[in-house]
Amino acid sequence: MGITNRWHKEPGTRLEGSRNLDSSKLQAPGVVRIPSGGFRLFYTAVGPAKPYRYCQGYILSAVSDDGLIFRTEPGIRLEPQPELAHMSLRIIAPSVTLCDNGVWRMYFESRGSASEPNVICSAVSSDMLHWEHEDGIRLQGFEGLGGPRYIRLSDGRGRLYCTAAESIFGEKRSQIVSAVTPDGLKFEIEPGYRMGDRQSQYESSGITAAEVVRPSRAGDRWTMFYSAWQDLPHGTVVPKHPSRDDRLSEDFAAASIASDMAGYRSRIFISFSSDGLKWDAGQCVIEGGGYEDTDVDAVHAEDMSLIKIDNHRYRMYYASCDKNGTWRIASAITESSSRRRR
């Protein structure tokens, strides 16, 4: 019945900060198979070599022959545009798809100042190395949208799943919504929520990203992976995250990590659906051991990206953070239920 909820973490890390472009913070991977062979991993990072003073993050890439050992590629794949209010500070969470005309398109979350709601934008490339921003905004609404993940539908359209921020009865919430497109450029938000937050004590501080896998054969279910944060222990004082602070920090990474490590936890969950719109309650599939543990994902596991590596197995890449506040890209692997039934 599709992908199982049994995942095994793979030893070590797939990628970690190793140069002035990504040594401060590294997260939000998006993986794609290279047509000529191997894999390319796009990811958001920031470091001392950032292109301008208040830049908070940009998209880099690394390649691998086997999906385990990655080599970083020189330069920045895509960076924010300081002259655009909605994209002046950071771009994050790349999702890459191959269009019918042979051009690659990347969707990403675009961030400006704290007063600007996050939106989804896009860029195109013929080789996945040199990218050009596409004019305008692909999707906006609610009090901000983020963490885009794009899939093709069987009828030729595309669907973006993303997180929507909004205030409900005075409380900030973050839930999963979706939008459909006939051409990859013009999107229409579908009614309702795909997944609500605060389903358990482990999902009490909102959802950050969701990725969906369509059924590969009749009778299989749709599968969603999403990352959710657990709120702070009662009474904890947390530094304001720099993305919510109008006072721009030159060291965005240090300020954001201080907020990440104030007592929050994040985990990865799985959910199933018969139609891609109505989803079951989630079950936790990836989590670390907590602030006293030595795992690379002890405190945070989030923002996953999946790739099918053969007829029976998937690999998940995800952002991980250890007890020292170091962010890396880790991976986990599973087998499909079809193989397990043999």
Helices (H), the chain: 252-260, 337-340
Terminus-to-terminus CA distance in the chain, angstroms? 13
- Show the tokens assigned to 156: 């030729």
Which tens digit of pLDDT belongs to each residue from 37-68?
999 999 999 999 999 999 999 999 999 999 99
CB atoms within 10 A of CB 181: 17
Which tens digit of pLDDT belongs to each residue from 193-205?
999 888 888 888 8
Q: Are 172 and 197 in contact (CB under 8 A)?
A: no
Dihedral angle computed from the Cα positions of residues 325, 76, 177 and 267, in that order, rounded to the nearest 10 degrees: -20
Q: Which of 8-17, 192-201, 247-256 holds the top average pLDDT?
A: 8-17
Domains of the chain: 8-340 (2.115.10.20)
Q: What is the chain's alpha carbon radius of gyration, rounded to the nearest angstrom? A: 19
- Per-residue pLDDT, averaged over 280-306, amounts to 96
Which tens digit of pLDDT belongs to each residue from 115-150?
999 999 999 999 999 999 999 999 999 999 999 999
DSSP for residue 206:
-
- Show the tokens assigned to 321: 């953070």
DSSP for residue 137:
-
Q: pTM of the full predicted structure?
A: 0.94
Tell me the helix, strand and coil percentages in the chain, rounded to 5: 5, 45, 50
DSSP string, 95-123: EEEE-TTS-EEEEEEEE-STTSPPEEEEE
- Show the tokens assigned to 40: 């390319």
